[in-house]
Amino acid sequence: MDARTIGIFDSGAGGLTVLHDCLVTLPHEDFVYLGDGARCPYGPRSTEEVRRFALEVASYLERAGVKLIVNACNTATAAALPLLQERLAVPVVGVLAPEAHAAVQATRNRRIGVLATEGTVRSGRYAQVIRTLDAGAAVLSVACPKLVPMIESGGSNDALVAAVREYAAPLKEAEVDTVILGCTHYPLVRPVFERVFGRGTTLVFSADETAREVAETLARKGIENDPRRDGECTFLTTGPPDDFRSLGERFLQLPIPSVDRVSLSELELEAA
């Protein structure tokens, strides 16, 4: 048994959808979640910036003594996962490979769509990983810059549906039968995607697949905690704690009793 905590990080609160599924899958494990709210969003930033931020946050979590790190940000996974796995001593799981594997397994016509942030689409990492698994798969990626702000603001449902229809149109025209929803915000509006795409399209969400990958990694490495115990969660943010808590409770769908703040200077020291 390994009683150490599992670290999860994201650019903000979106990765709490991944934490939620991890809590359901691994209720006996302890988790610490760090949201980089002061520098959110990562999507429009350069690859170099995102790599630096991800290394700072992950290094902070490793120094805190976690046994495994979940990079719950699609943009940071696309930009920085190989760097993190090279630089850190603990295992690092990203959200991209589990989704790509699930999509390749699910597709019937080998046409796969990806809806994600600008940074994730720009990286081309989904297409690379999918074609590693199936070189003959056709991949069409669409950047969705409107969706994250809409989901966070909780605005008009009609406007959100219209935006999803806009981004879904080229995927439907290409007759994809499987769509990767490559942003941790998207599970919050799952019914909207299901409505737009219909039953004939398989939707792959990062939270479901990543939680499964975390469980498999813990078991494979023999670092699971005692299954008879109840796990605990700690929440950290580089932004305003009250803002994180109010938004985070909607994302996590559970109460967040307290949030501690981590300064950017602390993070910068860890990766120096």
Instruction: Judge whether 40 counts as a catalytic residue.
Output: no
Q: Which one from 22, 40, 144, 183 is the annotated catalytic residue? A: 183
CA atoms within 13 A on the CB side of 261: 11
One-letter amino acid identity for 179?
Answer: V
Measure the CA–CA gap between 94 and 74, rounded to whole angstroms: 8
Q: Please, are residues 149 and 161 in contact by the beta-carbon 8 Å criterion?
A: no
Record the tokens describing residue 93, joined without a space.
């799981």
For strands 111-116 and 178-182, give the pairing. parallel
Instruction: Judge whether 22 counts as a catalytic residue.
Output: no
Q: Which of 60, 36, 51, 49 is nearest to 84 (CA)?
A: 51
Give buried/exposed letters for 217-228 (b at 16+ CB in 10 A, else e): bbeeeebbbeee
Q: In what order do the strands lie in the sheet with 202-205?
A: 138-143, 111-116, 178-182, 202-205
Q: Which one from 22, 40, 73, 144 is the annotated catalytic residue? A: 73
CA distances from 156 to 150, 152, 216 (A): 8, 11, 39
In sequence order, the 6+-apart residues with CB closer than 8 A to the CB of 35 are: 9, 10, 11, 12, 13, 15, 16, 235, 236, 237, 238, 239, 244, 248
User: What one-character DSSP code corresponds to residue 36?
Assistant: -
Q: Which residues are catalytic?
A: 73, 183
